[in-house]
Amino acid sequence: MIAALRIGFPFLLILGVLASPGLAQERPYFITYDHHMEEPGNLEVATNPVIGQARGISTFIGNWTEFEYGAKGWWTSEFYVDSQHTLHDGGLLTGFRFENRFRLLLGEHRINPVLYVEYEHINGADKTLKEVVGFDRKEGHAKPNWETRLEHEREFETKLILSSQIKGWNVSENIVGVKNIHEGVWEFGYAFGFSRPLALAASADACTFCRENFNAGLELYGGLGEWGDVTFKGTSQYIAPVLAWNLPSGTTLRVSPGFGLTDQSHSTLIRFGVSHEFSGFGQQVGKLFRRNRS
What x/- string results for residues 199 through 238 when contact with other proteins is judged by CB under 8 A?
Answer: -xxxxxxx-----x-----x-x-x---------x----x-
290 binds other proteins (CB under 8 A): no
Determine which residue in the list 6, 107, 291, 294 makes contact with other proteins, applying CB under 8 A: 107
Instruction: Tell me if 15 sits within 8 A of 45, measured CB to CB.
Output: yes
Determine which residue in the list 53, 100, 165, 284 makes contact with other proteins, applying CB under 8 A: 165
**Which of 180, 283 has the CB closer to other proteins?**
283
The kind and range of the H/E element at 272 are strand 268-279
Residues 22-81 that bind other proteins (CB under 8 A): 22-25, 27, 34, 36-37, 39-41, 70, 72-74
Min CB(121)–other proteins separation in Å: 31
Rg over CA atoms, the chain? 19
**Which of 147, 263 has the CB closer to other proteins?**
263
Q: How many residues does the chain have?
A: 294
User: SS3 of 4, please?
Assistant: helix
DSSP calls for 167-233: TTEEEEEEEEEEEESSSS--EEEEEEEEEEES-SSPPSS--SS-GGGEEEEEEEEEEEEETTEE-ST
Q: Going by C-beta distance under 8 Å and a sequence separation of 6 or more, which residues neighbour residue 24?
A: 38, 39, 42, 44, 246, 250, 277
**CA separation for the pair 10, 151 (Å, rounded):** 30
Determine which residue in the list 83, 84, 170, 252 makes contact with other proteins, applying CB under 8 A: 170
Stretch that binds other proteins, among 85-93, 128-136, 149-157, 191-199 (CB under 8 A): 191-199
User: SS3 of 82, please?
Assistant: strand
Determine which residue in the list 125, 132, 171, 191 makes contact with other proteins, applying CB under 8 A: 171
**CA separation for the pair 199, 214 (Å, rounded):** 8
Site residues for other proteins per CB under 8 A? 20, 22-25, 27, 34, 36-37, 39-41, 70, 72-74, 103, 106-108, 164-171, 192, 194, 197, 200-206, 212, 218, 220, 222, 232, 237, 239, 248, 261-263, 279-280, 283
